[in-house]
Amino acid sequence: METERKKVIFSAIQPSGTITLGNYLGALKNWVALQDEYDCIFSLADLHTITVRQDPATFRKNTTEAYALLLACGIDPKKSIFFIQSHVPAHAQLAWVLNCYTQFGELSRMTQFKDKAAKHADNINAGLFTYPSLMAADILLYQADLVPVGADQKQHLELTRNIADRFNAAYSPTFNLPDGYIPKHGARIMSLQDPSSKMSKSDSNVNGFVALLDPPEVVMRKFKRAVTDSEACVRYAEGKDGVNNLMGIYSCVTGKTMEEIEHEFEGRGYGDFKTAVGEAVVEHLRPIQEKYAQYIADKAYLEECYREGAQRAERIANRTLAKVMKKIGFLPA
């Protein structure tokens, strides 16, 4: 009896330095959970990273460390394909082709381009403008069925579908049209200092974010300084953004519901609550940090993993690229 084909999920993250608790609870933790149910293809999107100028030595270090950290988080290179984007040249090649099937007006409407151009006014380069076409290539090369997306990426996924639809209509069905995947247990983790903003490594206040590799004493200090309110009551409610954020984090790392958390801290102050959240996060990160230390000390194993991942990714990507090149009319090499 023929088994039903697993759906393909593609997702990528940039290796541009610090990976935060927000990145982990909002995306990476879900990646790990998806590996048994789907055919997962995960990538470190290093080509995307260079839209902002990088120091070469730091860039190499960040990429190596990000690969080791994602392994430590639970990405299994035996279950999933996990590779570094620049190791598969088909990404850059298909991106150029898709640039020619993407309209200038579509790219100019991308809100992330406007945001990043404002942040990097001294380096508004063509790559920053056209990187949604590279993102489309990342997804379409693997005929992905589903792409995990946050609110800030929905616009890019819609553009990917438009590009694929345009190419399919011009030639014949070539690309699968991917759908967005909203995880069952998604988490939007906010800054500990400004709970109206998403937790980000670029926060000017280092107490606003927790990095996955922060030592326990640093994690505790950041949670003890977290913004709450004057009510001194642990409950999930509108207008209590700081407390709601801490409750969300505590729920993610302990599995407790909001009702259970409210009951646990009934009659207790924010000092107890913030200490408990910090301790729970420290314990949750401990095995990740221990595994990271093992992986980063074994460069030969890391190289073996990312080279094998690239070979597996390349076999799939090159099949798609060959179809595209043939349909357009390029002479075979």
- Residue 137 inside a domain? The answer is yes
- Give alpha helix (H) positions in 29-187: 29-34, 46-49, 56-73, 90-99, 104-108, 111-119, 126-140, 154-170
Of 281, 150, 297, 302, nearest to 212 (Cα)? Answer: 281
Do residues 97 and 160 share a domain? yes
Of 169, 171, 107, 173, nearest to 136 (Cα)? Answer: 107
Do residues 63 and 181 share a domain? yes
Do residues 97 and 237 share a domain? no
Catalytic residues: 116, 198, 201
Residue 184's pLDDT is 64
Residue 232's pLDDT is 87
- Per-residue confidence of the chain (333 residues) as pLDDT tens digits? 455 789 999 999 999 878 999 999 988 988 898 999 999 999 999 999 999 899 999 999 999 999 999 999 999 999 999 999 999 999 999 999 999 999 999 998 888 787 777 777 888 888 889 999 999 999 999 999 999 887 667 888 999 999 999 999 999 999 999 999 877 656 789 999 999 999 988 888 999 999 999 999 999 999 999 999 988 899 999 999 999 999 999 999 999 999 999 999 999 999 999 999 999 999 999 999 999 999 999 999 999 999 999 999 999 999 999 999 999 999 988
Do residues 120 and 153 share a domain? yes
- Residue 197 inside a domain? The answer is no
Do residues 128 and 215 share a domain? no
Do residues 92 and 231 share a domain? no
Do residues 145 and 217 share a domain? no
- Residue 1 inside a domain? The answer is no
Do residues 14 and 122 share a domain? yes
- Residue 21 inside a domain? The answer is yes
Residue 151's pLDDT is 66
- Residue 195 inside a domain? The answer is no
Do residues 72 and 116 share a domain? yes
- Among left, alpha and beta (phi > 0; psi -120 to 50; other), residue 163 is alpha
Of 139, 184, 167, nearest to 43 (Cα)? Answer: 139
- Residue 275 inside a domain? The answer is yes
Do residues 276 and 314 share a domain? no
Do residues 165 and 287 share a domain? no
pLDDT digits (tens, 9 = 90+) for 82-93: 999 999 999 999
Please report, for the domain that includes residue 43, its CATH number: 3.40.50.620
Residue 185's pLDDT is 59
Do residues 263 and 316 share a domain? no
Question: Which residue do the tokens 């850059």 mark?
Answer: 92
- Backbone angles phi and psi of 34, in degrees to 5: -80, -15
pLDDT digits (tens, 9 = 90+) for 167-190: 999 999 999 999 998 776 567 899
**76 membership: H or E segment, kind and range:** none
Of 116, 122, 167, nearest to 140 (Cα)? Answer: 167
Residue 4's pLDDT is 73
What residues make up the domain containing 235? Answer: 206-293
